[in-house]
Structure formats: structure tokens, C-alpha cells
Structure 1
């Protein structure tokens, strides 16, 4: 069964362009070289935390979400390796495994972005509820949410993998659109709280902004920006791919290069995690 899927080789027509193969391999290798060290450090710090406490009970929700996203990125690494091997071997089985693994990592990454933003949203907009959810009940809800992500992503990936055709792109992007809408809602809700004084506060703080709320807003907004960047790359590439004004070689190169727009989305959570762990320095995001 041949699937007309994959940003690395969207159509069988692209298989005739050697430049497209070289470009695809280069981007996949770049992704591996850039992301694997970052997520390896995340795993290392997580392992250290587990050794110190013999559990993750003291870990924040954000940390747990980041560990799970790191595990998802390992799936993407395997998908990249399979993509590279398929470029050299041309074995149908390796070619067909790539879109399924890619979708698992992509859907899961977006869902964990939403969970991260919802956690920050609750911390700022509903602080009392958030404090209650930091205890056993909140940990239970968090764990159930994580299990749901790991169960839902293979199901969605299988649905896309089996039924994909050019018109199915709308269904493919629908979960992404829902995630983007949720993150946008969280961002604007937190911004509203930042610019609006709380009950009884008036102007007594002299215009100063609560640093913890500001960090929550920065976290959500950075995630929002990289998700919009990823969506923009997809839409522009597919729009140009359907244009009669662009040559086939350029179309194939564009569909291959669209992967580049996802790299920031895959990097944002681990980089924020490493900053929280004191491994990165950033004055505008300091704990202050």
C-alpha cells in the first residue's frame, strides 16, 4: 500500500529528484543532532531527580509533561532514522512506517503543549484550584491526562495513516487547530489577568507585575508563537505545492523544508525546563 503522505516526500513525483533526497536527509540529521543532546540532558536531570527522591512525587506538572515529550521525541528520532534508511534502501515497509511514527510524535507533542499551557493557565487565572491540584488529586488527574495522550495519539495516527489522501489534510490539521485554539485561549486569559488588577489591589503595586504570572505568560506565549510558526510553514508549503506557478522541484523542496518549522516547537519545552533547572540563563525569564 502506497501512501501519498509525508512532508519529506509528499507525492511520488518527488522521488525523482535527488536534491530532494539530500535535502530531506540533511534536515532529518539536523533535527537529530540538535534535539537529541537537549532531550538527553532532560532525561539525565530527570533521572537525577528520581534518584534523590526515589519518585517523581516532588516534580512539578511541567517537569512531568516535559519528560513525556522527551519520550515522544525519541519516537520522532526513530522516524527520522527510518526516513533516512528508506532513502537509501527504498524498502516499502520502512517508507510506510515513517508517517505513522511521525504522527504519533506530532500529535503527542501538541497535546503536551496544551497540558503545559493549561497548567500555567490554572496557576494564574484559578490559583486556588491550582493549589488544590498540586496535591494527590491533581497528580492523579495529571497522570490520567498523560495516559489519555499516549492512548489517543496512536489512534489518531492510525486514522491519518490509513485514510490519508490530499483532501484529508483538513482532518489531519483539525487536532492541531484545536490545540492551537486552546493555547491561544490560555495566553489571552493570562494576559488579561496580568493587565487587570486583582480584587482590592487597585494601583498599590505601583504598576509592578507579579513575576510568577509573567513567567507563566511568557511560557504560554512562546509555545503559542512556535505553534503558529509550525502551522504557517505547513500552510505556506501546501499552498505553494498546489500552485501551477512553481516548478515541481521547488515544490518538493518546500515540502521537505517544512520540517524545519517544527524544530522550535520541539525545542521550546526542554529549553524552558533546562532554564528552570538552572542550566540556562535568561534575564527576562529569571525566577526573580
Structure 2
């Protein structure tokens, strides 16, 4: 049976329009159930965590880092995406593949697909701060960062609308190229930063506070890359080599499930970093 794959987080097949996704996977439902549970965990963790991130950035705006503007927009994007699990549950379990509600869900998917672009912006900001500090100092004002954030949102919305429309020829390649390019760019930035920090000074055991903060940000981004974005990078480019059942019921739910969980992982890591910084600041004030 020939299967048509698109970029809507699920393969389409005209003969299965009257079946729900759950019915199509009734013989192998384990990963699908795991995915739905993970999505609801993502909702209950991600929404309050991202709102807390937004509150902390607003509260500490006088002592904010240059990357906070991108972290803010990423948190807003993740809050929006974390609203989708109830609709996704209804679509997967109760509604057929021909239901018009899939258009709405594909818009949510399209928004989330572009979240690596904001992570790339964070990596670029840290890369410039550590690898090219002179240039970074000259560009420290936030005007160009706001412009870059707007450009990313325009790309995100355009991608989400195009994905919502669906059935655009070869549109799945857009996501594949975007996730591979984003992954490669983030890895390059992080490796470059770690290399420079390692070479920061021979015989010095104490890292400069600014570089130490940058190092922590690198670890946060690196954790997100490895845990959340490796599965789609490894699995999705080879989707045409899987059987239809394996792809529908296993591969793409594993890949997107872990990628989508970044909506919770990213703010939780940020909050843990902020808590550590507060503890260190409190310790330095002790007599």
C-alpha cells in the first residue's frame, strides 16, 4: 500500500479517512498512549513553568541577559502550544482523519515546529558574547534582537499557516531542512562556545562570572538539543524507509513527542538556573 506522508505530524492515506488515528493503531497502541500522556504532562508542567519564566524575566528586567528577549518569545510560543493536548486527544481518539479540526491542530504543530529558530537565536547571542566579545559589545543594544524576534515570528506564522492548509507538495521537506539546519547550527555554536571557554586562560581554575553564566546557558541549550531534538533529526529524514504502520504508530510519535516535551524542559531548566543563581547570590551576601 502506497502511503502519502505530509508534515502534519501524521501520514495521510485516502483509504483511512473514516478511521481515527487510534483505530489505525489499535494493534500497536503503546507509543500512541505514551505520546498522549506525555502531551498532557507537557500541558500541566509547561504552562505554569513558562508563565513563571515570563514573570521572572519581567520581574528581573533590570538585571536581564541579552538572550532574555528570545527566551520570552520562546516561552510565549510554548504556552500557546501547550494548550493543544485536549484538541489533540479528541482528534486522535474520537475524530477521523477527514475531520476539519485537523486544520487547527496542524496550525499548533506548525507553531511548535519553528521553536528551534528561537533556540538558534539564543545560541547565536551566546556565541557572539563568548567567541566575538568585541562585536557583541558594539551590538549590545536590543533593537536588532527585537527585529530578529519579529522575523522569526513572521517565519513561524507563515510556516504554521502553510502547514494548516496542508497537502502542499513536498512541504514536509521544509521541516526536515529546518530541523537539520537548526540542529547543526546549535551544535556548532555550543561547541565553539565550549572551546573558547576551555581556552579562557591557562592555569586558571576560576572562570570569569560572565563566561560562567554563558557556560551554564550552553549546558541548558545542549541538554535541550540532545534530549529533545536528536530523535526527529535521526528518525524523520528516513521516514520513507519505514512501513506505514511503523511510521504512523511508532516513529513520528516518538520523534515529535520528545521534541514537543521541550515546552516543559526548556522553562524548567531556565528556572533551575535562576534558582541556582539566586542561591549563589544569597551565599555571597552571608557574613
Count how many residue pairs are aligned between Structure 1 and Structure 2: 266
2:176·2:237 contact (CA, 8 Å) conserved in 1? Answer: no
| Corresponding residue number in structure 1 for 2:41 | 30
Match of 1:102 among 98, 103, 109: 109
| Corresponding residue number in structure 1 for 2:253 | 256
Match of 2:154 among 128, 133, 151: 151
Following superposition, the deviation at residue 159 of structure 1 comes to: 3.3
1:117·1:183 contact (CA, 8 Å) conserved in 2? Answer: yes
In terms of mean alpha carbon deviation, does 142-151 or 174-183 score higher?
174-183
For residues 111 and 184 of structure 1, the distance between their equivalents in structure 2, rounded to whole angstroms, comes to 13
Q: Structure 1 length as normaliser, TM-score?
A: 0.75
Following superposition, the deviation at residue 81 of structure 1 comes to: 2.9
For residues 237 and 208 of structure 1, the distance between their equivalents in structure 2, rounded to whole angstroms, comes to 42
Following superposition, the deviation at residue 143 of structure 1 comes to: 0.9
**Cα gap change, 1:182/1:216 in structure 2, threshold over 3 Å: closer, same or farther?**
same
TM-align CA RMSD: 3.5
For residues 229 and 267 of structure 2, the distance between their equivalents in structure 1, rounded to whole angstroms, comes to 20
Match of 1:213 among 206, 211, 214: 211
Following superposition, the deviation at residue 80 of structure 1 comes to: 2.5
After the TM superposition, which residues 101-120 of structure 1 pair with which residues of structure 2 at under 5 Å, given as runs?
A: 101-107=108-114, 109-120=115-126
Q: Structure 2 length as normaliser, TM-score?
A: 0.75
| Corresponding residue number in structure 1 for 2:72 | 67
For residues 150 and 271 of structure 1, the distance between their equivalents in structure 2, rounded to whole angstroms, comes to 23
2:40 aligned with 1:40? no
Cα deviation digits, residues 148-206 of structure 1 (max 9, x gap): 11111111233344455795433321122222222122112212322335xxx6x4x44
Cα deviation digits, residues 129-152 of structure 1 (max 9, x gap): 323333xxx211111111111111
State the secondary structure of the residue aligned to 2:222: helix
**Cα gap change, 1:155/1:248 in structure 2, threshold over 3 Å: closer, same or farther?**
same
In terms of mean alpha carbon deviation, does 251-260 or 183-192 score higher?
251-260
Following superposition, the deviation at residue 83 of structure 1 comes to: 1.2
Give ranges in structure 2 of 5+ residues lacking alignment. none
State the secondary structure of the residue aligned to 1:78: coil
Cα deviation digits, residues 99-137 of structure 1 (max 9, x gap): 222111220x21111111111112212223323333xxx
After the TM superposition, which residues 112-191 of structure 1 pair with which residues of structure 2 at under 5 Å, given as runs?
A: 112-134=118-140, 138-162=141-165, 164=167, 168-191=171-194
1:73·1:105 contact (CA, 8 Å) conserved in 2? Answer: yes
1:72·1:105 contact (CA, 8 Å) conserved in 2? Answer: yes
Give ranges in structure 1 of 5+ residues lacking alignment. 50-55
| Corresponding residue number in structure 1 for 2:235 | 236
